Amino acid sequence: MESKNSDGVRISRRDFIKASAAVGLAAGAAYAASKNFVFNIFSQEDPINDETLQPGWQYSYVPSVCAFCSSTCDILVTTESKNGYIRAVEIDGNPLSPLNKGKICARGRSGIFRTYNVDRIKTPLIRTGPKGTWAFKEATWEEALNYIMQKLQELNVQPWEFLLVGGALACANYKRYFIPFTLGTQIPNINGTPMQTCMFSEQLPTGFVIGGFDLHASDLMDDMSNSSLIVVWGNNGFPTGIFVNRAVRLGEGLANGAYMITIDPRMSESASKSDLWVPVKPGSDLTLAMAIINYIIQNGYYDDNFVRYYTNAPFLAYEENGVLKLLEDDWPDGTVRGFYVYDEISGQVREVPPFSNTNQFDINGNEIRPALKLSPIEFNGKQVTTVFQHLANRVSNYTLEYAAQVADVPLDLIKEVAHRIATTKPMDIVTGLKGFWSDLSPQFRKATAIIMALTGNIDIRGGWVYSGQYREGVKEVLNAYNSAIQSGKSKPGILLQRPEILGSVPLLDLPGELLPIFGIIYAYYNPQFWKTGYPALSYAYAQTLMQQGKTPVATFGMFLDTGAYEALKGEVMWNGKPYTPKVVMSYGGTPFNFLWKQYKKILENTFYIDINILPTEDTLYADVILPDVTYLERDEAFRDDGPAMDSALRGRWQAIPVVYPNTANGLDLFVMFAYMLGKEAGDGYVEWMANSKSIDKEVFKQIIASEMPKYQEYLIKNNGYPPWGSFTAEAWREATVSSLSKKLNIPAEQITEILRNNGVFIITTVDEFFANNERIPWNLPAATPTGRIEIYSTVLYYYVIKTFGYNPIWDPLIAYIPPYWNGGYAVKPGEFVEPPSPYNDPTFKPTPPEMFFIEFKVPPFAYTSSTDNPLLMAIASSSYHKNIYQMAWINPITASQLGINEGDWITIIRWKLPDSNGNYPKLTIRAHITQWIRPDTIGVPEPYGQRNPALTTAIKAIENAGNKPVSELWPESYNPLGGFRQAEQFTVYVRKATPDEIQEATTLATAQTPNTLPSEVVVTPNMEINSTEWEKYEQS
């Protein structure tokens, strides 16, 4: 197989250039030139020698994709080799990448330190002692897999009793593995970390408006390079947190003269680069956003043409029983046939198509001019006006003066922010991971998207620009829609009511919001989809709460841990029986990132299988640990270039042989594991993978069938994986290239060669998309149910409200949600608690020692797992960074009042909101005194808190950050819509820590079998270029 040929994936600097020219890769260089790239890698003369190379060694580049975070930057891995010895020595950004444009961050560079980390899990391990301790024995792969099968049989595990845990890496990189796995094996539960705080508090609420879902990894790019105004609103995570694909564009935008505003209680890295820092009070974001919407409407600053013709703002709507409903024409089956607008040309109400990119024509093809402003009229027995007019009415009481009072910042500052946002174009409100996590979060993020829509900054250069893969997905859906209508297989309608159309598109080709629409409504939350009749546990929990007369939670969410802990306690019912998990299996993520004090109870009482590269805190609770390989040690599927505006293909190429011979490729293991569950499960998994993307399905299935047995046999006979190769990677690659070759009429070999040499294969640039009239929504519909940009969310009405009833948290237009300090839905799942005075006052400000609480992202670390990286921890522990990155931020005025000095241990107590057991949770950490945070707010960095003695690097942070995660302070409840924890909806009490608290905060877990600690296990690494053993095996 090509991927097993070590010489085939190793290219010298000179060869990289020569091959690029030889295989028609002049296109790649031309692309780079068109983007004004200037990199020495393209210089034939290579006049600058910026490194000293060892004589006699060969230095080569291997193109790949970084796997340190969901930015998934395109990279080049430098290897050095001599006399059959090889190792990876450096990682750089790929200058041909349309995603990260040759740039890479410290995390990306530190990938070498993950692969060669002394803490690498080098052999399978089976638990021998109590959970919560490091107590394991080494095992062979045969022993470990047999033990797993034995336990599954003993427990009589049913598909719904599995919890599959995956992280952001799995979300951004391995949807094609994870989602088909659950569908094929009929396991309805993925607990994704941090899905709640990432996807369902910020990204999907934004997507309700623009038709997005996975904004950062696939759907959308913040085109800051071309922005005149950049607004970073409470989300340090993307531009400087750091997502390189955003950071590089932020840098270009600032270099090009963009004005930058950061709205954040803390002087974040983004704020430090800004022209204007607006330190708003926590919990004031929604008030400010609604005031800006009001300002835009009242002053006529909205983009009239865009809002009128490309959003559903002109749709007629009416209030009924406190719910805003669109005026619709229905088919006999009750599904939507069309919507109504008021045409200013004819002065009549006209019906417009249910799914279209534009409101320029009615259903009969007549050109119309739909009204935005409209005094109420009566039609079909209803008092109606436009969605736009309803929006104007909803925000009319939210003035800039009131917003300044609530946000506790000067009015002149608020006025400047509002005026710049309303009048500067192109403008980008940066999408991101961070924000105020509370009951108001979904409406706040929806409000920022409405601002972008009102100002017409959707799919214009310098605003929010849809990715190449999103655009291609929209074209697939549009073709499927038109074909189904023309053939009579379906009838015109909104897409969430047309599963036959969505189901005709490969699942993972569904762009943006359409993926969760189909996934939630017709799969995970649909009992009829599952042969067992058991839907996702989160849906069963929502239904259980409703049966108890309570408010449901996670009413529109996928891959959530919502209800998992409650199920363990027997509090989730389905069909009159407890819905209880028995097995947890984790890959590419850690349950440590959930509400850890609850989830570790789940791990204590279930059989836990951990497939991992490095230990994490949850490894202390594993029954079996299976050692994975790193991304430098394996080939992977060819895939789209993330949220890049160009449509491009790229792939991870194996740069070095598998380093530790007793490890195995976790992605391949999933196929083997599916067949361990039974032939029906295995065949189902392969079939779902084959049908999840636009690939050559037969090629895919044939390779899996022929190659998997060889790898399976090798794994058992040799107690580890072969040094080179992956049968799933080969299947995905061959099937992808076969399909693309036919589509583009380019030889498959040429596509593969381009990918091998350049790392990326450019299919269509964003400029070509725009020139070809493929802009969204001007020329193509958005991936919303109606095809328009939706000021009024049809998902929230036609699914969430119709299924679960009305709640202002999921109001389809906009609704004001107060901060609900120490109350709201943060107290107990499904129950609303009205906060007592003064916490019910939006203008409330605490007096120290009572403070607001916020979390913040630390740039060197993507996730918890990256804290065990020597390079990254060295950065975070330097004399300059240590206090900034590892300690809680507190203003000097407040610190002086509390007698707190720099570096003091302090205890932060959630003092008004106890846990269900009556305890008041607390976090002990050192204090960093800085003026760059509001005096009424304390900020805590988020990636720390592990106490696993197997982590020789990560535990170094304990001396400053303590041994508990920031989730220790999260409430036990869930947001009703997104299912996330209201992690900042409470006040805290801050004081100096006691000696006992300090001792507790600096104690490690017990190592009962220190000889099995990975750092103590001596295994000779494999650093040979060729493996005669594998070559001999392959020929047999």
pLDDT digits (tens, 9 = 90+) for 582-605: 999 999 888 998 999 999 999 999
pLDDT at position 197: 64
Residues 220 and 335 in one domain: yes
Residues 448 and 362 in one domain: yes
pLDDT digits (tens, 9 = 90+) for 458-510: 999 999 999 999 999 999 999 999 999 999 999 999 999 999 999 999 999 99
Residue 287 in domain: yes
Residue 888 has pLDDT above 90, yes or no: yes
Residue 347 in domain: yes
Residue 1026 has pLDDT above 90, yes or no: no
Residue 680 in domain: no
Domain of residue 230, CATH code: 3.40.228.10
Say if pTM beats, i.e. exceeds, 0.75.
yes
pLDDT at position 589: 85
Tokens 């007592």 belong to residue = 836
pLDDT at position 864: 81
Residues 828 and 804 in one domain: no
Residues 790 and 873 in one domain: no
Q: How many CA atoms lie within 13 A of 858 on its CB side?
A: 29
Residue 523 has pLDDT above 50, yes or no: yes
Among 42-56, 792-806, 914-928, 938-952, which is the least confidently predicted range? 42-56
pLDDT digits (tens, 9 = 90+) for 667-687: 999 999 999 999 999 999 999
Residues 794 and 856 in one domain: no
Among 21-30, 572-581, 677-686, 722-731, which is the least confidently predicted range? 21-30
**Secondary structure of 434-492 in HEC code, one letter for each residue:** CCCCCCCHHHHHHHHHHHHHHCCCECCCCCEEECHHHHHHHHHHHHHHHHHHHHCCCCC
Averaged confidence pLDDT in the chain = 92
Domain of residue 851, CATH code: 2.40.40.20
**420-432 mean pLDDT:** 95
pLDDT digits (tens, 9 = 90+) for 919-952: 999 999 999 999 999 999 999 998 999 999 999 9
pLDDT at position 53: 75
Contact 66, 1005 (CB under 8 A): no
Residue 1026 in domain: no
Residue 969 has pLDDT above 90, yes or no: yes
Residue 189 in domain: no
Residues 893 and 804 in one domain: no
pLDDT at position 194: 66
pLDDT at position 31: 34
Angle, CA of 13, 18 and 24, to the nearest 5°: 130
Among 185-199, 346-360, 454-468, 700-714, which is the least confidently predicted range? 185-199
pLDDT digits (tens, 9 = 90+) for 525-570: 999 999 999 999 999 999 999 999 999 999 999 899 999 999 999 9
Residues 353 and 443 in one domain: yes
User: In the chain, pLDDT over 90 holds for what percent of residues?
Assistant: 85
**Alpha-carbon span 585 to 20, nearest angstrom:** 43
Residue 14 has pLDDT above 50, yes or no: no
Residues 874 and 797 in one domain: no
Residue 33 has pLDDT above 70, yes or no: no
pLDDT at position 236: 65
pLDDT at position 131: 98
Residue 1013 in domain: no
- Tally of domains within the chain: 2
Residue 245 in domain: yes
Which range of residues forms the domain containing residue 411?
Answer: 215-468+783-810
**Alpha-carbon span 206 to 318, nearest angstrom:** 24
Residues 354 and 396 in one domain: yes
Residues 788 and 896 in one domain: no
Specify the length of the chain in residues: 1036
Residue 323 in domain: yes
**647-653 mean pLDDT:** 96
Contact 1012, 128 (CB under 8 A): no
**Alpha-carbon span 43 to 13, nearest angstrom:** 10
Give 523's contacts (C-beta < 8 A, 6+ positions apart): 183, 529
Residues 409 and 368 in one domain: yes
Residues 806 and 829 in one domain: no
Phi, psi of 534 (to 5 degrees): -100, 115
